[in-house]
A = this chain, B = another copy of it.
Amino acid sequence: MDVTIVDRRNHHLFQPLLYQVATASLNPSEIAAPIRRILRRQRNVEVVLGNAVRVDRAARKVLLMDGELGYDYLVLATGVTHSYFGHEEWAEHAPGLKTLSDALEMRRKIFVAFEAAEREPPGEGRDAWMTFVIVGAGPTGVELAGALAEITRHTLRSDFRHIDPRSARVILVEGAARVLPAMKERLSGKAQHQLQRLGVQVRTNAQVTCIDEAGVSVGDEHIRARSVFWAAGVSASPLGRTLGVPLDRAGRVQVNRDLTLPGDDRVYVIGDLASLQQDGRPVPGGAPAAMQQGRHAAGNIERALLGEELKPFRYFDKGTLATIGRASGVADIRGLQLSGGLAWFCWLLVHIWFLIGFRNRFVVMLEWARAYLTYEKQARLIAEEVNVLLADPDDSVVGRPESAA
């Protein structure tokens, strides 16, 4: 059996830790590994760096931007991307967090904001640089808010001369009635409490009505903020639309119980791109379900090649976890509800375990141990040069005024 894997990036990314790259705790290479390296010993696997744009099921081909690939069996796992609920103009002002580039851009925005605040005179302009709004209080939004609050309270504490980073505001906006709406109500309450203890302002039942350069409108209120981050909606990869099969409301592909496409057992769809019901409820998105589906699809293809009957997929829920800053978090592990230090420790073990490759696990553990002891963020770098921070150069006489020696 020959396997070809196509990706438009050269690395496999451990997405659950992406927010730690965005908040400068980890380096990109600590949560990502070249796909070729992961699969180098698998001599029957070929890795192609390419961007798949269309599936031609009649011809059994995947069309790339610059080529095409024939298939006997196709497994589609192109996932989801950000969705701004029809307000694509918000994207420019409120970047999301799906890729390494996203994370590095978010990091740049965060640290440039403090640099700009340091150079602004006190007042509304400075306050806008010191205000960070995160839209969406799912796991990514919660973890990002916690990490940002820590940066302002600890990491940057003694680095500036004109601003006090501790006075920065971190505002977490959620449309639903509580943070982490997918978790049990009690854990949502615990998470919100832990966020507030870190200094995060939590606004639930809050609908974002506008995002522009000046900030965010939440209902009737306008929050002046230079840094707005998007952790709210997702929509399915556009590749699903080229299959010519029914999609659900979010653009996901409705698959059979055996993960094949209705009417085409040569095509499997797995991960966040697949829509599947189990016991009357949707199988959740995220890495655990995707990993189980990957293994299951491989098994079914093997069965098909051997002429055996395909087996239906069954999702096994191992639990959900979220971390909130330093030594706190919430966890729901098969009904066992944890919060605080114990939940955080579970989170730590699970994430270290699933990181690919021994080297990354070891380095990330070292980094976290160091960060825990020192509050330092190693990766506070802006690679690009910064030319203009301030919109209005008249405000910008910095440093002490000229004086005689």
Contacts and interface: CB of A to CB of B under 8 A. Distances in A.
A48 B119 contact: yes
A386 to B, nearest CB: 5
Given A381-B28, A399-B48, A404-B72, A390 B66 contact: yes
Interface in A45-63: 46-51, 59-61
A101 B108 CA distance: 13
A254 B101 CA distance: 43
A318 interface: no
Interface in A23-39: 27-30, 32, 34, 36-37
Query: For the complex formed by this chain, how many copies does it contain in all?
Result: 2
Contacts of A388: 51, 65-66
A336 interface: no
- Most chain B beta-carbon neighbours within 10 Å: one of A47, A99, A398: A398
Nearest to A161: B46
A263 interface: no
Interface stretch (A5-13, A126-134, A137-145, A210-218): A5-13
A277 interface: no
Interface in A208-267: none
Contacts of A48: 118-119, 398-399
A305 B405 contact: yes
Given A67-B396, A115-B49, A37 B380 contact: yes
B393 A32 contact: no
A313 interface: no
Nearest to A21: B383
Contacts of A383: 28, 99-101, 104
Interface string A371-405: 00000101111111111111001001111111111
A65 to B, nearest CB: 5
Contacts of A8: 385-387
Contacts of A334: none
Contacts of A2: 399-400
A60 B402 contact: yes
Contacts of A11: 380-382
A51 B385 CA distance: 8
A205 interface: no
Given A10-B115, A382-B9, A400-B70, A37 B387 contact: no
Interface string A290-314: 0000000000000011000000000
A73 B387 CA distance: 24
A68 B73 CA distance: 64
A397 B34 contact: no
Nearest to A46: B161
A29 B381 contact: yes
A315 interface: no
A345 interface: no
Contacts of A59: 402
A387 B65 contact: yes
A71 interface: yes
Interface in A161-198: 161
A30 B367 CA distance: 12
8 contacts: A2-B400, A4-B398, A11-B381, A29-B379, A40-B158, A48-B119, A51-B387, A69-B398
| 7 pairs of A and B residues whose beta carbons are closest in the complex | A70-B402, A67-B396, A36-B159, A49-B115, A27-B27, A4-B399, A29-B379
